[in-house]
Structure 1
Amino acid sequence: MWPALKYITALAVSLPLWGILSTASVETQRSGAAEPRTDLEELLWPEAGGARRIDQRGAALSPAALRDKVAVAWFVAPDCAITCVARTLDLDRVAKALPDAVRTRAVFLAISLPDARGETGRLRAFADGTVGAGTTLRFLAGDAAWTASLAAMLRYPAASLPEPPPQVLLFDRRGAIAMTYGGDLVDRPRLEGDIALLHSFAQGLEAPPRRATEATPHPL
């Protein structure tokens, strides 16, 4: 399940985006025929045809809504610590800072690791209180089974729950995992540059941009 992440999580989080390309390409080519679902879909729906994902406004999220989008995903909890709040604020700033053409093709997904009661009302209160009701970020409520699946996928100790994992995950326009960032601080300029770069890869990382001038890699 989610083969590319097995390699990416073993890398230092300071590796540039280009350092991921060869591994992600090999894994996709090797397993694409057997596993047609994308890495992003496996993150959000570990079981094919699984439960609906509902955001803080009560709107359902479907795979179609993610098609041809650069996606950023990270993890929250309604009562998470200040570092989780700061991470969410940073990612809201990243979303607002993107150029219009890139912003319309980017989606930001905050995945909640709920308590056993799965209180979606508390998640909405957290979202509205942290980044405001008008945010473009989508906060997704889950359930105990999804939380367990995510913890296993990320190799996150169950004893550390409900405090969310620190990872921020970046997916290309074809739903393949492109980069994972760790730690409490979000390097906003770098993430903005990586999103813009992935935006230029219309067919995902396996195909180059149509024009070299469209790529805007963040300087190393």
Structure 2
Amino acid sequence: MAALAIGLPLWGIPSAVSVEPQANPAAPSRNDLDTLLWPSVDAARRIDQRGRALRPADLRDRVAVVAFVTAECSIACVTRILDLDRVAKALPQALRDRAVFLAVSLDDAKGGNATLRAFADGTAGAGTRLRFLAGDAAWTASLMALLRYPAARMPEPPPQVLVFDRRGGIAMTYGGDPVDRPRLERDIPLLDTFAQGLGAAPAPASPQPR
């Protein structure tokens, strides 16, 4: 728990984690992850490199890992994506559907989905479990403001790797050069035990058979 709590929000988005239970769990309010991916309620749909739409419902009750890319990023950015791809593939089978890995492009959808898919396939391979998401100029501007990232540093994207708990609250920020893969592989299963997010107690361990 201490390893997770030490990285609580350092990047500008106020945490949605609360020690109080949600009044209406059937209609979850916007959380940190929603704010990142859909800054406004009328934000455009997010489409991944395979042409599939990403919706808030796809992320509910999932641990989410988010990194940032551009098609012109350096080897450090490419290595970061490869590290996250390895983490995604190394998770135990039971956890693979409980963790979502997103690589958010800051290219303002230049070249359309075909460019993003070529970058994704050429970097992590067609079989990657990462979903690469293209945005538009408004979304890119919002991300840069939330991350407090100077535009002068582009096209090198922000190095942060962000991890969100099962209720969409920011749980951890990692430096991305290089990704601490062993720690991330430990933290994701631990975060999955917090069914109500870090603001509530983790689920009790299942009794071991005698």
Give yes or no for TM over 0.5: yes
Q: Taking every aligned residue pair, what percent have the same amino acid on both sides?
A: 66
Q: Structure 2: how far apart are the matches of 1:206 and 1:196?
A: 17
Which fold has the larger relative contact order, with Cα–Cα distance below 8 Å and residues 6 or more apart in sequence? Answer: 2
- 1:210 maps to which residue? 203
Give the AA of the match of 1:210.
A
- Give how far 1:116 is off: 7.0
Aligned to 2:171: 178
**Residue from 187, 190, 204 that aligns with 1:197:** 190
- 1:146 CA drift (Å): 0.7
Work out the CA distance in 1 between the residues paired with 2:143 and 2:166: 22
Deviates more, 1:113-122 or 1:184-193: 113-122
Gaps of 5+ in 1: 1-14, 215-220
What are the Cα deviations for residues 183-213 of structure 1, in whole angstroms up to 9, with x where unaligned? 4100100001110100111111111122157
Counterpart for residue 120 of structure 2: 127
What's the TM-score, normalizing by structure 2?
0.86
**Which of 79, 100, 109 does residue 102 from structure 2 map onto?**
109
Matched, 1:83 2:49: no
Query: For the residues of structure 2 that align with 1:89 and 1:183, how far apart are their CA atoms?
Result: 11
- Which among 48, 57, 60 is matched to residue 67 of structure 1? 60
Q: Could you tell me how far apart the structure 2 residues matched to 1:25 and 1:86 are?
A: 29
Partner of 2:34: 41
Query: What number of residue pairs does the alignment pair up?
Result: 199
> 1:114-141 CA distances to partner (integer Å, 9 max, x unpaired)?
1573532211111101111111110000
Kindly indicate whether the alpha-carbon contact (under 8 Å) linking 2:49 and 2:113 is maintained by their aligned counterparts in 1: yes
- 2:15 & 2:49 partners in 1: Cα distance? 36
| Secondary structure of 1:28 counterpart | coil
Once the two structures are superposed, what CA deviation does each residue of 1:16-39 show, in whole Å capped at 9, x if it has no partner? 213356999986339988x92010
Q: Is the 8 A contact 2:116 2:134 kept in 1?
A: yes
Structure 1 contact 115–162 (Cα < 8 Å) conserved = no
Structure-2 residue corresponding to 1:17: 4
Distance (Å, rounded) in 2 between the aligned partners of 1:45 and 1:212? 34
Of 46, 49, 53, the match for 1:53:
46
Q: Distance in 1 between matches of 2:121 and 2:176?
A: 24
Cα 1:155–1:78 change in 2 (3 A) is same
The question of 1:29 aligning with 2:18 is answered: yes
C-alpha distance 27-66 of structure 1, shift in aligned 2 (>3 A): closer
Alignment partners' CA distance in 2, 1:121 and 1:83: 23
Letter in 1 for 2:17: T
Given that 1:70 and 1:171 are in contact with CA atoms closer than 8 Å, whether structure 2 keeps it comes out as: yes
Note the aligned Cα RMSD (angstroms): 2.8
Aligned partners of 1:21 and 1:205 also within 8 Å = no
Change (3 A) 1:134 1:27: closer
TM-score relative to the length of structure 1:
0.82
Give the counterpart letter for 1:19 in structure 2. Answer: I
